[in-house]
Amino acid sequence: MTTRPVKMSPSMMCADFLHLEQDVRLLEAHGVEWLHIDVMDGHYVPNFTLGIDYCRALAKASSIPFDVHLMIENPERHIEPFCTLPGARITFHPETLYQPVRLIERIRELGASPGIAIDPAQTVAQFQHLIPLVDQVCVMTVNPGYAGQKLIPQCLDKISEVREFIQRKGLSTEIEVDGNVSWTNIPKMIDAGADILVMGTSALFEKHRPHEESLQELCALLGKS
């Protein structure tokens, strides 16, 4: 694996809702960089998940910034409250809009950090021109909507494709990888160029072991003390 620093963004839909505060303290103690918040609307994806009230409650309990992943139609109608969360990064799927550039600009105007997500059905080439305008490209390695799915191996090539574009253009855009970030897949994702890993049920929030144990192992794997 490369020595590039890699950040963690735990997927909060996979945390223990009945012991949320406990999980958040654990994440803070291990220095995770982001809290990944999956927002789903039952239209863009066939599921419902977290929303702004959940984020506001969490913001009172933690100072880790929010990495909000909007898997929704008409994201422009819903971004404002998410942008007011301290240090928020807002990632949307550009194919949901006619004018994604306008939304990127609006997110910046509102003081948040914009990102775009690339669904497995979309190509990097389609959205390449947007990469210089955003702070993050989230490469989805499963179909958005559910935790616990299997990697779509072809999506690993998209990570390399985005990395190559970023390097060629001398950009500082970060690459996030979302979906089946497992012990087996982490080295492949990092080698392909990932900067931020969305940690869901595949490693951090595994059912059969305490989250603290997984977190310690992840920190060791990613070279964090």
Which sequence positions are flagged as catalytic?
38, 178
Q: Which amino acid is at 25?
A: R
Residue with smaller CB distance to ligand DX5, 174 or 178: 178
Asked if 32 touches ligand DX5 (CB under 6 A), the answer is no
Which of Zn ion, ligand DX5, none binds 147 (CB below 5-8 Å, type-dependent)?
ligand DX5
Asked if 89 touches ligand DX5 (CB under 6 A), the answer is no
Which of ligand DX5, Zn ion, none binds 202 (CB below 5-8 Å, type-dependent)?
ligand DX5
Q: Which of residues 108-167 bind Zn ion (CB under 5 A)?
A: none
What is the smallest separation between the CB atom of 51 and Zn ion, expressed in angstroms? 14
Residue with smallest beta-carbon separation from Zn ion? 69
Going residue by residue from 30 to 49, which x/- string records binding to Zn ion, judged by CB under 5 A?
Answer: --------x-----------
- Taking CB under 6 A as the binding criterion, the range among 25-33, 59-67, 122-130, 141-149 that sits at the site for ligand DX5 is 141-149
The edge-to-edge listing of strands for the beta sheet with 174-178 is 7-10, 196-199, 174-178, 136-140, 113-118, 89-92, 66-71, 35-40
Q: Which residues here bind ligand DX5, judged by CB under 6 A?
A: 11, 13-14, 36, 38, 69, 142, 144, 147-149, 178-181, 198, 200-202
Q: Which residues here bind Zn ion, judged by CB under 5 A?
A: 38, 69, 178
